[in-house]
RNA sequence: UCGGGUGUCGUCCAAUGGUAGGACAGCAGACUCUGGAUCUGCCUAUCGAGGUUCGAAUCCUUGCACCCGAGCCA
């Protein structure tokens, strides 16, 4: 999808499915689903699951449903339901008319529960939550049977009906599956399958005051939808025997569950609980803060669906837990943006340059290419005049040997314009350089010297009189540590929040072609990085988010301290 | 301690008894009107110990490490 003829992804899940298809299971039918709980925004980890489930369905000529596992009304909201649909669609996937909710099955699930009671496989328990926990035992000691475990079927039926009718208070009684309190799998020790909960559900409103537990809803929902391959994360491995038990007791269609390791990404956190915490405590501006690993945050940051999909393909799928370097995500992004983002000149931290020998009042329109990777994107005109701005960091009065940008006496090229040479500097009271005086060589118009002489570097620039102002937000990793959750000595993950994860630069100057750029559009600011127009932009005041920097050799040299002063 | 899982370059993923390979990162170089892009080269790995085999990442035994599990969360 989008990417050139890569070899089709191959992993243990596809191998299993392919084996099932060859063996004629389900008549070769493949049907998956993406089953989020609408209790938060989707993140890049969900993208992995989305690409897996929708991707597999596509490859095997099957279908993939979108189903909301909305069994806990206390935590779920329509805001989340809506954002999730938007995000899945934005990623490029389509569930057609197969949008489902576990809550669609509340009636059916209730019937299933009654069936279990009738079979003597479920009972109403009057024990409190604390008592149930106590009776459950521990991993090394078996649990004990509840004193209510052997209630007659009729009594259970009556009690369960009265639970449903609202006769009992929240938490006063639960329905439990009757399995084995001595099982070494804690999930099989008579798990609670229905609880009394007076909360308004985002879809069923006040229709129910009992709700099925996830464990009682998930497997059966898959079964109801005819899901052939129920792909989920590792922590549900221990639940599989329980799902199988329900399916077998109920005698209904049996999906095959396959577990894989969830995605961990360096320099960020991925749990919805922690992301919610960052939002609530104001460490970020919201779920879609461009620093967040959420789909909406990445979108606002300027990521493309193609880059995210390519990333999900490259990280692979396996059962071992791992942490992917965020550099891979950024690589996929640059790879995609390099091909499609129009180039443009923008000066983030301007320093004024006066071309002494350039006629006052004259303006030239110079031709610049929009994307050297794609000639079809054409060219544009950029105005040049006597007073310009270049980047502060592109000038050094007393440069080290490896700095080959502008300095006194040195000639460099202004991209698509002229060679200029710095002849003098103007300083303020504090001794800081505030203005450069240069001369230009009229013979180098367009950027090439007819006499064949070369310059070491090419700088981006804008014309003072023609440039437009903008604000730019420079983003960096949200956390300074690759694994913010992994330090046992730290109080918690927030200890590693990166104080420099966002820097706002306000007096940036852009070339005039950017006037009226629409929110969401992406550009490469030459030599700086990829930037995306933020929705905070106003008509006369553009706001850009830095999506990602370009790979930067000079920054690397500075960082590793490899340059030698004056060689 | 009990049950379930997992151990391969710095990182992620392959190799399913037959030359341990790819990607990212890193390093070095070529090229370049973006210190970008592109291209070339280099670098480093099978958790340990035994065993089976002509041959083991793969099979067996054993040890170790890590992850998950005692919600009326999902």
Distance in angstroms: CA A405, C1' B32:
16
The predicted model gives A366-383 an average pLDDT of 97
| Residue A416: nearest nucleotide (C-alpha to C1') | B33
Distance in angstroms: CA A13, C1' B49:
33
Instruction: Confirm whether A37 is a catalytic residue.
Output: yes
Residue A16 has pLDDT above 50, yes or no: yes
Q: DSSP secondary structure string, A307-370? A: HHHHHHHHH---SS---B-HHHHHHHHHHHHHHHPPEE-EESSEEEEEETTSPTT--EEEEEES
Task: Check residues 330 to 359 of chain A and report those whose beta carbon is under 7 Å from nucleic acid strand B.
Answer: 331, 334-335, 338, 343
User: Would you say the C-beta of A315 is within 7 Å of strand B?
Assistant: yes
**pLDDT range class, residue A124, cuts 50, 70, 90:** very high
Please tell me the pTM assigned to this model.
0.96
The predicted model gives A385-401 an average pLDDT of 96
User: Is residue A477 a contact partner of residue A498, using CB atoms and an 8 Å limit?
Assistant: yes
Q: What is the pLDDT of residues A518-529, one digit of tens each?
A: 999 999 999 999
Beta strands in A183-314, from DSSP E residues, in sequence order? 192-196, 210-212, 229-233, 256-260
* 3-state SS assignment for residue A432: coil
Residue A290 has pLDDT above 50, yes or no: yes
Which pLDDT score is estimated for A4?
34
Average pLDDT for chain A: 95
Q: What is the pLDDT of residues A302-336, one digit of tens each?
A: 999 999 999 999 999 999 999 999 999 999 999 99
Residues near A121 by Cβ (< 8 Å), separated by ≥ 6?
Answer: A177, A178, A179, A249
Distance in angstroms: CA A216, C1' B10:
43
| Residue A131: nearest nucleotide (C-alpha to C1') | B72
Q: What is the pLDDT of residues A444-493, one digit of tens each?
A: 999 999 999 999 999 999 999 999 999 999 999 999 999 999 887 888 99
Q: What is the pLDDT of residues A428-444, one digit of tens each?
A: 999 999 999 999 999 99
Instruction: Confirm whether A272 is a catalytic residue.
Output: yes
**Nucleotide B67: closest residue by CA–C1':** A321
Which pLDDT score is estimated for A567?
28
Which pLDDT score is estimated for A529?
98
User: Does ipTM come in above 0.90?
Assistant: yes
Task: Check residues 183 to 202 of chain A and report those whose beta carbon is under 7 Å from nucleic acid strand B.
Answer: 184-187, 191-192, 195-197
Residue A401 has pLDDT above 60, yes or no: yes
Distance in angstroms: CA A234, C1' B67:
9
């Amino acid at each position: 999808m989008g990417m050139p003829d890569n070899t089709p992804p191959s992993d243990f899940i596809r191998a299993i499915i392919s084996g099932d298809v060859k063996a004629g299971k389900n008549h070769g039918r493949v049907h998956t689903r993406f089953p989020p709980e609408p209790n938060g925004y989707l993140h890049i980890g969900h993208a992995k699951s989305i690409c897996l489930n929708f991707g597999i369905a596509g490859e095997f000529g099957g279908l993939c449903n979108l189903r909301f596992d909305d069994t806990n009304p206390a935590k779920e909201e329509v805001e989340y339901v809506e954002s999730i649909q938007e995000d899945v669609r934005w990623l490029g996937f389509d569930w057609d008319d197969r949008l489902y909710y576990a809550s669609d099955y509340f009636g059916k699930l209730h019937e299933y529960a009654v069936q279990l009671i009738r079979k003597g496989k479920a009972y109403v328990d009057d024990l409190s939550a604390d008592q149930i926990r106590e009776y459950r035992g521990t991993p090394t000691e078996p649990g004990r049977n509840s004193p209510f475990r052997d209630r007659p079927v009729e009594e259970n039926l009556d009690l369960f009906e009265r639970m449903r009718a609202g006769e009992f208070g929240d938490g006063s009684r639960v329905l439990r599956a009757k399995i084995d309190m001595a099982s070494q799998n804690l999930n099989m020790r008579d798990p609670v399958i229905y609880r009394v909960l007076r909360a308004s559900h985002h879809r069923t409103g006040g229709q129910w005051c009992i709700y099925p537990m996830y464990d009682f809803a998930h497997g059966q929902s898959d079964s109801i939808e005819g899901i052939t391959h129920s792909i989920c994360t590792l922590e549900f491995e221990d639940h599989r025997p329980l799902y199988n038990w329900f399916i077998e007791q109920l005698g209904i269609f049996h999906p095959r569950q396959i577990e894989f390791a969830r995605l961990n990404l360096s320099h960020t956190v991925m749990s919805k609980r922690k992301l919610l915490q960052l939002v609530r405590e104001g460490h970020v501006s919201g779920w879609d803060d461009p620093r967040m690993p959420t789909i909406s945050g990445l979108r606002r940051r300027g990521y493309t669906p193609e880059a995210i999909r390519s990333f999900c393909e490259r990280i692979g799928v396996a059962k071992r837990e791992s942490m992917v370097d965020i550099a891979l995500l950024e690589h996929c992004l640059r790879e995609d943006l390099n091909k499609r983002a129009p180039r443009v000149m923008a000066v983030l931290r301007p320093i004024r340059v006066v071309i002494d020998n350039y006629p006052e009042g004259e303006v030239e329109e110079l031709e610049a290419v929009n994307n050297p990777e794609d000639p079809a994107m054409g060219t544009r005109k950029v105005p040049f005049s006597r007073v310009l701005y270049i980047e502060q960091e592109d000038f050094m009065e007393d440069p080290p040997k490896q700095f080959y940008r502008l300095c006194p006496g040195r000639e460099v090229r202004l991209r698509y314009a002229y060679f200029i040479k710095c002849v003098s500097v103007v300083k303020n009271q504090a001794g800081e350089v505030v203005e450069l005086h240069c001369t230009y060589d009229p013979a180098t118009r367009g950027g090439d010297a007819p006499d064949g002489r070369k310059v070491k570097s090419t700088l981006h620039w804008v014309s003072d009189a023609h440039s437009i102002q903008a604000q730019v937000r420079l983003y960096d990793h949200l956390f300074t540590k690759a694994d913010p959750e992994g330090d046992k000595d730290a109080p918690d993950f927030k200890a590693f929040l990166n104080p420099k994860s966002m820097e706002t630069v306000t007096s940036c100057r852009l070339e005039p072609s950017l006037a009226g750029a629409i929110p969401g559009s992406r550009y490469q600011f030459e030599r700086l990085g990829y930037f995306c127009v933020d929705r905070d932009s106003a008509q006369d005041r553009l706001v850009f988010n830095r999506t990602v920097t370009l790979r930067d050799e000079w920054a690397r040299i500075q960082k590793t301290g490899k340059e030698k002063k004056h060689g």
